[in-house]
Amino acid sequence: MPRRPEADQFNSLHEKLIDRWRALCEGAFKNRFLYFTCVKDNDEDLGNIEYLRDTAQQAGFGTGLIYIDDIGWANDTGCFVDQAGQRMDALAKLYPWEWMVREEFGLNLKDTDIKLIEPPWKMLLSNKGLLPILWELNPGHPNLLPAAFDRWRLVGQDAGNYVQKPLYSREGANVTIYRGGEVIREEGTYGEEGFIYQAYTPIPKFGESYTTIGSWVIGDEPAGIGIREDESPITKNTSRFIPHYFV
């Protein structure tokens, strides 16, 4: 890439993360030691959670790292504890809510006052069952695609062109595109809870790459965009992350 000293990115992640952590540190999470957790043996999750932990420390939090497998429960005091038996009052996690609430210790969440990031209501936003409901409430909205719990209810759409998505899935896993006579499927471990169906719309293609733009929101403010490219129209965890700039 040529040197462009006048160029910039649509990216204020670092600054906004620190500002948001500082607001929590001085507000709802005041005087709470903040643990960060993810699964073991996942370099991507560990890198992400350690970066978030670093920004929280810059905002004034005392922090610690603990793997989700190492979080314990103390029956006598009714609280979650770390490996040393210390009470955990606040936790930021890269671990799906729908997994956590099904686990043995997860059942204790309703009995403690631990502060969690992200909060339980995020389960609603990670459930693609919202898509048919949004379409039913706002039919024809320009920012929505027709969606239904039954593929044959995609009124006005070509029944041979649609996308099947698990209620819960991440990074393209178990997504299937039905495009004319072509079927494009990404394997994974999701789908047990069921699927939704959404009208197919082409993803922009430049050269040999399909391109998708994603956005980050921190607090309630936009904080940047990210561009993913892949030879497949399904964006997945191996899709390339492409830098961008504007002048």
Q: How far is CA 196 from CA 111, 163, 168, 176, 210, in A?
A: 33, 8, 10, 11, 23
Q: Where are the domains of the chain?
A: 32-124, 127-201
In the three-class reduction of DSSP (H, G, I as helix; E, B as strand; rest coil), residue 242 is classed as strand
In the three-class reduction of DSSP (H, G, I as helix; E, B as strand; rest coil), residue 225 is classed as strand
* Helix/strand/coil percent split, the chain, to 5: 25, 30, 50
In CATH, the number for domain 32-124 is 3.40.50.1760
**Tens digits of pLDDT across the chain (247 residues):** 557 888 899 999 999 999 999 999 999 999 999 999 999 999 999 999 999 999 999 999 999 999 999 999 999 999 999 999 999 999 999 999 988 888 888 888 888 889 999 888 888 988 999 999 999 999 999 999 999 999 888 756 666 789 999 999 888 999 999 988 889 999 999 999 999 999 999 999 999 999 999 999 998 899 999 999 999 999 998 999 998 988 8
